Structure 1
């Protein structure tokens, strides 16, 4: 065989070895999303979404507190389709004299939809 071709094969072998070793080392260093602790109600994870606080309730991460900058997201047109808020309101089976508290009302998205349903009731937000 040609000496140049043999050198080429050696170089390819070295490069492939380096690539494979790098992939193996990278796979070994990937952290798993381990539950750091649990208090029976909440789980706390060390690796989590940067938009969350690392605290989970019923499998869902609690988001960071939203400021006024997030108002447009709360009022987005796709919310009625994606979250079905009217379905949730209907399931409340509200009576006209009920008292409703909307805790963390944000922009009042649900407040404005529920308050007409309780004209003799009381709405606290």
Structure 2
């Protein structure tokens, strides 16, 4: 409700946790110090089709593809260089019926419509 609250950890229940391969994990309730490394993650998703009430479930996350190949904050490698994405500039290239090509940014491309 927009008010800061202090809640004891014992009153909370973890509903979801995101782990990725190579994360180091350990069993919290174990009396020993059992730990390991995540080597594979299998996630089922519910996919809602835009403009409809249709929901497809389950869809394995490995069957999904990113809309954009890079996102802000991604780490990228080129030869021996390692970098981080701080800015993205997306361009749309249209091939016209006469063979000419036209490029525009995605905001202008969103104004296009079918004829």
Query: Same fold judged by TM-score > 0.5?
Result: no
Instruction: Answer 1 or 2: which has greater helix percent.
Output: 1
TM-score range, shorter chain: under 0.3
Structure 1-normalised TM-score?
0.21
Structure 2-normalised TM-score?
0.22
Q: Which of the pair has more CA radius of gyration? A: 1
